[in-house]
Amino acid sequence: MTKMFRIGIMLTVMLGTAVVAAPLAAEPAVPTSVAEINLSFAPIVKKVAPAVVNVYASRTDSQPRNPLFNDPIFRHFFGDGDSEEGRPGGPTAQSLGSGVLIDPSGLVVTNYHVIAGMTDVKVALSDRRELEATIVLRDQRTDLAVLRLKGKGPFPFMEFDDSDKLEVGDLVLAIGDPFGVGQTVTQGIISALARTEEGISHYGFFIQTDAAINPGNSGGALVDMRGRLIGINSAIVSQTGSSVGIGFAIPSDMVKVVVATAKSGRTEVRRPWLGAGLQNVSREIADSLNLDRPAGTLVTDVTPKSPAEAAGLKQGDLIVSVDGQPTDDVEAFSYRFATAPLGGKVTLSIVRDSKPLTLVLNAEPAPDLPRDPVKIAGSSPFAGATVINISPAVAEEYSLDAARQGVVISDVDEESRAAALNLQKGDVIITVNDKKIETTHDLQQATTGDHYFWKISIGRGNQIITTVIGG
| Region 13-39 average pLDDT | 54
Do 387 and 456 share a domain, yes or no?
yes
Burial of 110 (0-12, 13-18, 19+ CB in 10 A): buried
Cis peptide before 154 (omega within 30 of 0): yes
Instruction: Taking each helix axis as running N to C, give the angle between helix 252-264 and helix 330-338, from 0 to 180 degrees, rounded to the nearest 10.
Output: 40
Alpha carbon distance 275, 310 (integer Å): 10
pLDDT for position 157: 94
What pLDDT score does 427 carry?
93
Rounded to an integer, the average pLDDT of 30-51 is 80
Domain assignment present for residue 368? The answer is: no
Count: domains in the chain: 3
**441 is known as an active-site residue:** no
Q: Return mean pLDDT, the chain.
A: 83
Query: Are residues 381 and 243 part of one domain?
Result: no
DSSP, collapsed to helix, strand or coil, labels residue 438 as coil
Compute how many other C-beta atoms are within 10 angstroms of the C-beta atom of residue 34: 7
194 and 299 belong to one structural domain: no
In sequence order, what are the residues at sequence separation of 6 or more whose Cβ sits closer than 8 angstroms to the Cβ of residue 389?
369, 370, 371, 372, 407, 439, 440
Residue 217: which CATH number?
2.40.10.120
Write out the binding residues: 113, 143, 216-218
Pick from 312, 329, 362: which residue ends a domain? 362
Tens digit of each residue's pLDDT (9 = 90 or more) over 115-152: 888 888 999 998 888 999 999 999 888 899 999 999 88
Mean pLDDT of 432-437: 92
- Residues 83, 95, 113, 328: which is the catalytic one? 113
333 and 381, same structural domain?
no
Same-domain check for residues 66 and 161: yes
402 band by pLDDT with thresholds 50, 70 and 90 = low
pLDDT at 85: 45
> Given this model, what pLDDT does residue 299 score?
92
DSSP state of 299: E
Residues contributing to the annotated binding site for substrate = 113, 143, 216-218
Is 218 a catalytic site residue?
yes
Residues 6+ positions from 407 with CB-CB distance below 8 Å: 387, 388, 389, 390, 428, 429, 437, 438, 439, 440, 442, 443
Closest-CA residue to 54 (of 126, 132, 141): 126
Q: What is the pLDDT of residue 311?
A: 94
Q: What is the pLDDT of residue 89?
A: 47
Domain assignment present for 367 = no
Rounded (5°) CA angle 240-246-251:
130
pLDDT in tens, 221-258: 999 999 999 999 987 766 666 667 788 999 999 999 99
Residue 405: domain span: 374-470
Q: Are 135 and 147 in contact (CB under 8 A)?
A: yes
pLDDT at 62 (0 to 100) = 55
pLDDT tier for residue 469 given thresholds of 50, 70 and 90:
confident
34 pLDDT tier (thresholds 50, 70, 90): low
1-17 tens-digit pLDDT: 456 666 666 543 333 33
pLDDT at 22 over 60: no
- Active-site residue, from 143, 210, 253, 427: 143
CA distance 8 to 98: 8
> Is the pLDDT assigned to residue 414 strictly greater than 50?
yes
The answer to whether residue 108 sits within a structural domain is: yes
CA distance 290 to 302: 23
Query: 113 with 243, same domain?
Result: yes
Amino acid at position 43, single letter: P
Check which CATH number belongs to the domain holding 406 and give it.
2.30.42.10
Residue 76 lies in a domain: yes
User: How many angstroms separate the first and last alpha carbons of the chain?
Assistant: 43
User: pLDDT for 57-95, tens place per residue?
Assistant: 887 765 555 554 555 444 444 455 554 444 444 546 677
Distance CA 125, CA 13 (A): 16
Residues 66, 2 share a domain: yes
- Condensed to tens digits (0 to 9), the pLDDT of residues 143-188 reads 999 999 998 879 999 999 999 898 999 999 999 888 777 788 999 9
Q: Say how far apart CA 443 and CA 406 lie, in whole Å.
A: 9
Same domain, 204 and 241: yes
Structure letter (DSSP) for residue 423: -
Q: Exposed e or buried b for every residue in 183-202, given b needs 16+ CB within 10 A?
A: bbbbbbebbebbbbebebbe
Q: Residue 173, SS3?
A: strand
* CA 471/CA 466 separation, integer angstroms: 16
Judge whether 391 counts as a catalytic residue: no
Instruction: Compute the CA torsion angle 108, 114, 119, 122 (nearest 10 deg).
Output: -50
Catalytic residue among 95, 218, 234, 380: 218
Residues 111 and 235 in one domain: yes
CA atoms 329, 236, 56, 115: torsion sign? positive
| Phi, psi of 103, deg, nearest 5 | -155, 140
The pLDDT value recorded for residue 376 is 93
Name which residue leads in pLDDT, 11 or 302: 302
Residue 45 has pLDDT above 80, yes or no: yes
Assigned domain for 34 exists: no
The stretch 363-381 carries a mean pLDDT of 90
Check whether residue 399 and residue 460 sit in a common domain: yes
- Percent of the chain at pLDDT > 90 equals 42
Residue 33 has pLDDT above 80, yes or no: no
Greatest CA separation for the chain: 82
Chosen domain end from 269, 304, 330: 269
Instruction: Tell me: do 94 and 227 sit in the same domain.
Output: yes
Query: Based on the domain organization, do 250 and 384 belong to the same domain?
Result: no
